[in-house]
Amino acid sequence: MFKKIFFYSITAGILSAISCIIYNRIYFFATETDFSKVLNTATLIGINLIACLLAGAGYLALTSWLKKSGEVIFNFAFSILSFASVIIPISVSLPLAIKSPEIFPGLAVPMHFFPALAWFTIRPLFIKENKLATP
């Protein structure tokens, strides 16, 4: 089970990181504002991998401790933490050398939802359920 969840977490982290890098490039070309001093490619990859690995640890812990409701509680917690983490890019003070710091939340806020979206998107590939019976 651990091995499966580990690969699930790594895959979600990679998908999330790729999504963030693509979104970062699109945002750069749309606004012509470079935030690479704050969010560069290595940072995006690292943050997304860490977030998904932590999610995997939480998922493994909750589904082990709470057999019936662990996954539901994890999904709620992951969604709530994604929403709560939005406060970070909104409240951060960027260096004065950064051009147009007021549009930074437009780049960073959507990226906070990418790990959860990647996690929920690839779930059917890794976790199979046979709970629904056809009549």
Residue that wins the pLDDT comparison between 130 and 51: 51
- Predicted model pTM: 0.86
Residue 10 in tokens: 């790594």
- In this prediction, residue 55 carries a pLDDT of 95
Domain boundaries, the chain: 2-92+100-126
**pLDDT over 50 (residue 36):** yes
Longest dimension (CA), the chain: 65
**pLDDT over 70 (residue 133):** no
Contact of 84 with 65, CB cutoff 8 Å: no
How far lies 3's CA from each of 31, 53, 75, 126, 130, in Å? 42, 12, 20, 11, 21
- Give one word for 114, left, alpha or beta, with left for phi > 0 and alpha for psi -120 to 50: alpha
Euclidean distance between CA atoms 89 and 108, whole angstroms: 6
**pLDDT over 70 (residue 131):** no
